Amino acid sequence: MLKGKNALVTGSTSGIGLGIATALAEAGCGIILNGFGDPAEIERISTDLQGRFGIKTHYSGADMSKPAEIRTMIAEAEAALGSVDVLVNNAGIQFTASIDEFPDDKWDAIIAINMSATFHAMKAALPGMKSRGWGRIINIASAHGLVASPNKVAYVAAKHGVVGMTKVAAIEAANTGVTVNAICPGWVLTPLVEKQIAANAKQSGISEEQAKHDLLAEKQPLLEFTTPAHLGALAVFLCGDAAATMTGIALPVDGAWTAQ
Ligand code: NAD
C-alpha cells in the first residue's frame, strides 16, 4: 500500500515508535529509524525490518532536543532513501513533580523533545512533501494533549502544544497533498509507562500487577492498555487514501479517558 514511500519515525528504537515503524514497514514503506539505545539492538531491529518486509532502512541517532541535529537527520534521510514522505513525531520523555518542585532542566528537556522537536522536524520535512505533492505527518501527542493531570506540567504543556501546532500545520498544508494529524493515546504499556508503574508500586507498597490496574482505573473506563501495534495500524490508516481528507485532528485512542 505504501510501496515507494519512506517514513521517518522519531523515537523508533522502543515502544510506540517501534510499533509504528513496524506497521509502516509491513505496509511497504522504507523506514528511517531514530532514537537512543544499544547499537547492536538497533542494528538487530533494522535487519529484522529489512528481512521481514523487504524494505530499505536507515538509522539516525539524532538527539531530538537539538534543532540542528533534527535538520541534519531529515536531510540525510532524504539523501539516503530519496524522500521523507511520512513523518511520525513520536520521541518523548516524562518526568513527574509538582510545579513548585519541578526542576528547570527537566522542563527545558521535555519542552524541547516532546514539543519543539515536532516543530523543527515538520519545518524541515514539509518543503520536500509539498514539492512531491504528497505527505503524511503524524504527531504522537497524548490524552495529556487534551486534558491535564497533576505533577505533569511540562508533559501536559508540551502535548497541548503538539495538538495546537498540528492544527496550524494542517491548515497551512491544506490543498498540497499533505495531511497533518495527532494521535492522542491513553495508557500504552511501554518502557516509559513501566517506569511509572514500578515507581507507583514501590511508593504504595503494592504489586506491579495491582499498580497496573490502579493506573488504568484512575483514568480509563476501559481497563486495557492500548498496544504499539494498535497505534501502528492507525498510522497506516492515516497514510491511506481513506484518510485523504482527515487533517488537523487530534484523535484519542484512550479507552474513553477524555470522554468523561
Ligand atoms: P519509550 O520510552 O518506550 O520510547 C521513547 C523513544 O524516544 C525511544 O526510542 C527513545 O530512545 C526516544 N528518545 C527519547 N529521547 C530522545 C531524544 N532526545 N532524541 C531522540 N530520541 C529520543 O516511550 P513510549 O511510551 O513509546 O512513548 C512514545 C511517545 O508516545 C512519546 O511521545 C510519549 O509521550 C507518547 N505517549 C505515550 C503513552 C504511553 O502510555 N506509553 C501515552 C500517550 C503518549
- Domains in the chain: boundaries: 6-186+226-252, 189-225
Share of the chain above pLDDT 70, in %: 100
Please tell me the predicted confidence (pLDDT) of residue 192. Answer: 86
| Residues forming the active site | 155
Please tell me the predicted confidence (pLDDT) of residue 173. Answer: 98
- Residue of 226, 135, 119 lying closest to 177 (CA atoms): 135
In DSSP notation, the chain reads: --TT-EEEETT-SSHHHHHHHHHHHHTT-EEEEE--S-HHHHHHHHHHHHHHH---EEEE---TT-HHHHHHHHHHHHHHHS---EEEE-------B-GGG--HHHHHHHIIIIIIHHHHHHHHHHHHHHHHT-EEEEEE--GGGTS--TTBHHHHHHHHHHHHHHHHHHHHHTTTTEEEEEEEE--B-SHHHHHHHHHHHHHHT--HHHHHHHHHHHH-SS-S-B-HHHHHHHHHHHHSGGGTT--S-EEEESTTGGG-
Distance 69 CA to ligand 1 centre (A): 18
Give the pTM. Answer: 0.98
Please tell me the predicted confidence (pLDDT) of residue 8. Answer: 98
Burial of 162 per CB tally in 10 Å (0-12, 13-18, 19+) = buried
Q: Is the pLDDT of residue 99 over 90?
A: yes
Rounded to an integer, the average pLDDT of 207-222 is 96
Distance 175 CA to ligand 1 centre (A): 31
CATH number of 6-186+226-252: 3.40.50.720
Cell numbers linked to 198: 514500578
| Site to substitute for ligand 1 among 10, 189, 190, most atoms within 8 A of C-beta | 190
Q: Is the pLDDT of residue 127 over 90?
A: yes
Beta pairing, strands 57-60 & 30-34: parallel
User: 182 in ligand 1 pocket by Cβ < 6 Å?
Assistant: no
User: 60 in ligand 1 pocket by Cβ < 6 Å?
Assistant: no
Rounded to an integer, the average pLDDT of 237-259 is 98
User: 139 in ligand 1 pocket by Cβ < 6 Å?
Assistant: no
Rounded to an integer, the average pLDDT of 240-255 is 98
Distance 239 CA to ligand 1 centre (A): 21
| Dihedral of alpha carbons 225, 229, 230, 232, sign | positive
Q: Whose CA is nearest to atom 36 of ligand 1?
A: 142
Beta pairing, strands 57-60 & 250-253: unpaired
User: 215 in ligand 1 pocket by Cβ < 6 Å?
Assistant: no
Cell numbers linked to 67: 534543532
For ligand 1, what atom is nearest to the CA of residue 61? 20
* pLDDT averaged over every residue in the chain: 97
Rounded to an integer, the average pLDDT of 109-130 is 98
Please tell me the predicted confidence (pLDDT) of residue 1. Answer: 85
Cβ atoms of 25 and 18 closer than 8 Å: no
Rounded to an integer, the average pLDDT of 219-234 is 98
Rounded to an integer, the average pLDDT of 70-83 is 98
The rounded distance, in Å, linking the Cα atoms of 125 and 132 is 11
The CA distances from residue 247 to 84, 110, 174, 181, in Å, are 18, 26, 8, 5
Q: How confident is the model at residue 171 (pLDDT cuts 50, 70, 90)?
A: very high
Q: Is the pLDDT of residue 43 over 90?
A: yes
Distance 253 CA to ligand 1 centre (A): 16
Rounded to an integer, the average pLDDT of 141-152 is 98
User: 237 in ligand 1 pocket by Cβ < 6 Å?
Assistant: no
User: 185 in ligand 1 pocket by Cβ < 6 Å?
Assistant: yes
Distance 114 CA to ligand 1 centre (A): 9
Please tell me the predicted confidence (pLDDT) of residue 7. Answer: 98
